[in-house]
Structure 1
Amino acid sequence: MSQRYPAEPWRIKMVEPITIPTREEREHAIRNAGYNTCLLRSEDVYIDLYTDSGINAMSDRQWAAMMTADEAYAGSSSFYRLEAAVQEYYGYPHVVPVHQGRGAENILSRSLIRPGSHIPGNMYFTTTRIHQELNGGTFHDVIISEAHDPFSDHPFKGNVDIDALENLIQEVGADAIPYVSVAATVNLAGGQPISLANLAEVRELTNRYGISIILDAARAVENAWFIKQREPGWSGHSVAQILKEMCALTDGAAMSAKKDSYANVGGWLAMRDPELAEKARNLVVVYEGLHTYGGMAGRDLAAVAQGIVDSVQEDNIRARVEQVAYLAGCLQDAGVPVVQPVGGHAVFLDATAVLPEIPRAEFPAQTLAAVLYLDSGIRSIERGAVSAGRDPATGENRYPKLELVRLTIPRRVYTQSHMDIVADSVIRVAKQGKAITNGLRFVHEPEALRFFQGRFEPVAQWQHGVPAPRPGASDLILQELS
């Protein structure tokens, strides 16, 4: 009997038809996309688990708010509604809207980072680090060592290594560190949360050295849920209360409202320092739009404001996290290696364990994502060496300890039946993983964020659209994946 999780706390009002492309169509599509799932057309995808950013199902209240939004160029009432929601639920007094999270990263980096700056953080994220580097900064990973072990069961693998952080401060000097970048949750560690106790330790240390803390708040509501479930002393608090406690320990936040706030587009940068807020407003006029719309239409401002209210409702966040846990449980029961503990927004497959015969230089995670699409039309995303890019000093590929494929679950979009189909496909591919020995290589490699537009080709010819088995291996893989 399969696992069960509580019924979703909503009714379906509108549906969008989806169809599965044929095997021949999938082979044609992945070749045309250069074996990069990012370059697949949406119409060629059956179940889209590429991201949970901007593709969530909005609530009736969000749609209603959009219909009554104020589209004024300056001083829109929809902006003031968003500002009030951020102030109430996140606690920051100054709010600058942006078109999405990387807009906030750009404004923040231009405001605070100078050539020679050092930015410590609890594991890199792709767009965050590239903005830091483009402005002359160097990122330093100060996450605890357990975060790099996919099978460690540490409940807060997003925690900062306090000793590593202090050692870095003493090595480069506090004046060279404009802020500590704290993600909640940590995406590339598998959606892992940071504990309130650890965040308080980071606050105490940075206070001693006069260093700010900036929160990546895209999935902070999910982080608050994990604190409620896992951290002693917080089970009796609401998610909304915990979220505000987290933010109270920081000096500002960059937010992609396309995640926790369910919106299709939008974000914000929030701060406590009025001087930094003024600098951010000046820059947002240059790069985003007027400081009261920041690249968003009034209807988008309204959708984000209502989405903030929706996001902290206990039933919503419970259903969201438990759907992710259900998929992970199905895979773990079948022996598929997934990152543990399971995060709040995605299930992460350990590609080096699923495809142990493919060397890191042939990108096992990129290969696995392509094979999963070929098998069932499911789109996932690589989160390993391709995403990590090249070292700007040496030009060599970075090989992070984690080589993962992310199955990202959009909020309120797919049903349990869809999760069962995904599980069946992953299990089918994983059973034949040792027979897959040929990976991929670049034929087009962009300079920055290469995972978005890079193109690949098989290192050796793939048979029937999948990597050929090693000599002498059973051809069962070709039968099962064809």
Structure 2
Amino acid sequence: MHTIIEPFKIKSVEPVYFTTSQQRENILRKAFYNPFLIQAKDVMIDLLTDSGTSAMSSEQWGGIMRGDESYAGSESFFRFEAAVRNITGMPYIIPTHQGRAAEKIIFSITGGKGKYIVSNTLFDTTRANIEFSGAEGIDLLCAEGKLPSVPAPFKGNIDVDALEQFITTKGARHIPLVIITITNNSGGGQPVSMENIRAAKRVCNKYHIPLFIDACRFAENCYFIKTREPGYANKSILEIAQELFSCADGCTMSAKKDALANIGGFLAMHDEALAMQCRNMLIITEGFPTYGGLAGRDLEAIAIGLNEVMEEPYLKYRIRSIEYIGEKLDAAGVPYIKPTGGHAVYLDAKAFLPHTSPDQYPGQALCGALYTAGGIRGVEIGSVMFGKYGKDGNLIPAGMELVRLAIPRRVYTQSHIDYTTEVIIDVFKQRENITGYKIIYETPYLRHFTARFEPA
């Protein structure tokens, strides 16, 4: 088998600025040990997120030049609407400036005190928008998804039995919707099977609860279904996506992921009355229904990107690149969530730094070490992002302590990936020298974006 090459040619480049480890130590200290507070120019390999960091294609740039900037009834909107409708089959398409704006709208309308939004695993902004409404977000991840070192094909699945038990315990009237994240970002970028989505839909139908899909990485999830789930090997990614969305009553999407765009998102649904409520809020917060906080040029880029992302040579290269990192880490004994996910490698910081307790935030400590050692910026997904405080003021840690290294789409080459794995392995060899942090400043919501730390 030959090496899988990048299914694209590079047409434009931007420089990477090199720094020394001593310089990076100073930069990290001035940023209060929070990677979000480091200037991008001081990062050599930026794996903080795959959101909005994709390299756009020549077709997308061409579409940007064709963008119709009419305030109402833009031709660009209708091309965008047609692309989303072709994939989701949903008649009501509502553009937003990014995914969390879609979440803000839907949960402001459906959420509220005394209500529960149930998911396989909610990511940070989704949970924050649910909690801001007064509702409570509930994660019901399958059992295998909670075991980082144990491989399984669909570790992102929702626990369907737990879902039905939760509904019968709390009452369906208190659960306005169930939302399944594909792929499961907080759970290691792990996919959800078609069988699991169908089973969740049957439960939701039984209790008359709408099922939504968080579709940020729908194409990657569909590729895993094609390659791992019986009966799908000969179906196209579009056919799988259409079948998947046919199980849902609605969806949210950040187009900054699998639409290969730098900004944008949308809400889509079948319920006309709910769509009317969402559009009313859109006009107040985002803009007119045919632009929703986006320029026409961005709508064009999203419409084109939604089709490009379903090209199988791209997805094969994308998933294989992530697997390649996992194989290198396996050979060195580095702990990570197995198997690798669709968009990122998730280092198991709890196993990587067993000498660091949860209240010293091992994921944050590991992020600092990777940056100092090699200029690599990742993000903690653990007790900084998802930890809470008990009534006694003590930390209630997250279930897993992870560091996500999210690979931007069509941005980095093989040598960048090799360099990244070399740095991770070097840090692993020196792991006993890594110490934890303590928080010296935080906000009530999404504290990880702006929190400040100092060595514990």
TM-superposed CA distance for 1:119, in Å, is 1.2
Alpha-carbon separation, structure 1, partners of 2:3 and 2:335 = 22
For 1:191-215, what per-residue CA distance to the aligned partner results, in whole angstroms no more than 9, with x for missing partners?
0111001111111111111000110
Q: Distance in 2 between matches of 1:276 and 1:286?
A: 16
Look up the match of 1:343: 341
CA shift at 1:267, angstroms?
0.4
Mapped partners of 1:332, 1:50: distance in 2? 22
Cα distance in 2, alignment partners of residues 144 and 92 from structure 1: 28
How many angstroms apart in 1 are the aligned matches of 2:3 and 2:229? 22
Which runs of structure 2 are paired with 1:23-422 in the superposition (5 Å)?
23-391=21-389, 396-422=394-420
Cα deviation digits, residues 261-295 of structure 1 (max 9, x gap): 11000000000111111111100011111111111
Matching residue within 443, 451, 455 for 1:454:
451
Shift of residue 162, structure 1, vs aligned partner: 1.3
State the 1:244 CA deviation: 1.0
**Counterpart for residue 476 of structure 1:** none
Q: Distance in 1 between matches of 2:353 and 2:207?
A: 45
What is residue 444 of structure 1 aligned with on the other side?
Answer: 441
Q: How many residues align?
A: 456
Larger mean CA deviation between 172-181 and 20-29 belongs to: 20-29
> Which has the larger displacement, 16-25 or 89-98?
16-25
Q: CA separation in 2, counterparts of 1:173 and 1:82?
A: 38
- Runs of 5+ in structure 2 lacking a partner? none
CA contact (8 A) 2:390 2:396 kept: no
Contact 1:443–1:457 (8 Å) recurs in 2: yes
CA distance in 1, matches of 2:25, 2:378: 16
Q: Which amino acid aligns with 1:373?
A: Y
Kindly indicate whether the alpha-carbon contact (under 8 Å) linking 1:351 and 1:404 is maintained by their aligned counterparts in 2.
yes
CA distance in structure 1 between the aligned counterparts of 2:218 and 2:377, rounded to whole angstroms = 25
Say if 1:399 and 1:88 are closer, same or farther in 2 by CA, change over 3 A.
same
Q: Which amino acid aligns with 1:424?
A: E
Contact 1:384/1:402 (CA < 8 Å) preserved in 2?
yes
Compared with structure 1, are the counterparts of its residues 347 and 5 closer, same or farther at alpha carbon in structure 2 (3 Å cutoff)? farther
Q: Percent identity?
A: 45
C-alpha displacement of 1:392? 8.1
1:23, distance to aligned residue in structure 2 (A): 2.1
The Cα shift of 1:341 comes to 1.2
Separation in 1 of the partners of 2:392 and 2:262?
38
Question: Residue 25 of structure 1: CA displacement?
Answer: 1.7
One-letter code of the match for 1:338? Y
Change (3 A) 1:20 1:401: same
Instruction: Confirm or deny: 8 A CA contact 2:328 2:421 kept in the other structure.
Output: yes
Change (3 A) 1:260 1:193: same
Task: Give the whole-Å Cα distance in 2 for the aligned partners of 1:153 and 1:18.
Answer: 35
Instruction: Please identify, of 17-26 and 224-233, the stretch whose mean Cα deviation from structure 2 is larger.
Output: 17-26
Using structure 2 for the length normalisation, give the TM-score. Answer: 0.98
| TM-score (ref. length: structure 1) | 0.93
State the shift of 1:331 in Å: 1.1
| CA distance in 2: counterparts of 1:313 and 1:394, whole angstroms | 52
- SS of the residue aligned with 2:178? strand
Task: Using the TM superposition, give the Cα deviation of residue 389 of structure 1 relative to its aligned residue in structure 2, in angstroms.
Answer: 3.7
The amino acid that maps onto 2:442 is E
CA shift digits 1:41-78 (9 cap, x unpaired): 00100010100000100011100011011001111111
The alpha-carbon distance between structure 1 residues 22 and 5, as it changes in their structure 2 partners (threshold 3 A), is: same
Q: Kindly state the Cα deviation for residue 6 of structure 1 after the two structures are TM-superposed.
A: 0.4
Distance in 1 (alpha carbons) for counterparts of 2:308 and 2:117: 33
Q: Tell me the distance in 1 between the aligned counterparts of 2:311 and 2:46.
A: 25
The one-letter code of the counterpart of 2:351 is: A
Q: C-alpha separation between the residues in 1 aligned to 2:439 and 2:144? A: 31
Instruction: Name the amino acid aligned to 1:458.
Output: P
Q: Which string of whole-angstrom CA distances, capped at 9 and with x for unpartnered residues, describes residues 423-456 of structure 1? A: 11100010121343x2100111111101100010
- Report how far residue 398 of structure 1 moved: 3.4
Go from structure 1 to structure 2 and tell me whether the alpha carbon gap of 1:106 and 1:431 turns closer, same or farther (over 3 Å shift): same
Q: 1:256 to 1:392 in 2, by over 3 A?
A: farther
Structure 1 contact 389–450 (Cα < 8 Å) conserved: no
Q: Which runs of 5+ in 1 are unaligned?
A: 460-482
Secondary structure in 2 matching 1:188: coil
SS in 2 for 1:210: coil
Mean CA deviation greater in 393-402 or 229-238: 393-402
1:332 offset after TM fit, Å? 1.2
After superposition, the C-alpha distances for 1:150-201 in whole angstroms (9 at most, x for unaligned) are 0121211111111111111111111111000100110011001110011111
Change (3 A) 1:273 1:395: farther
Q: Is the 8 A contact 2:387 2:398 kept in 1?
A: no
- Asked if the contact 1:159–1:194 (Cα under 8 Å) also holds between the matched residues in 2, the reply is yes
CA distance in 2, matches of 1:395, 1:41: 33
Bigger mean CA offset, 169-178 vs 136-145: 136-145
Structure 1 pair 27–154 and aligned structure 2 pair: CA distance change class (3 A):
same
CA RMSD of aligned residues (A): 1.3
Is the 1:253–1:270 contact (alpha carbons within 8 Å) kept by the matching residues of 2?
yes
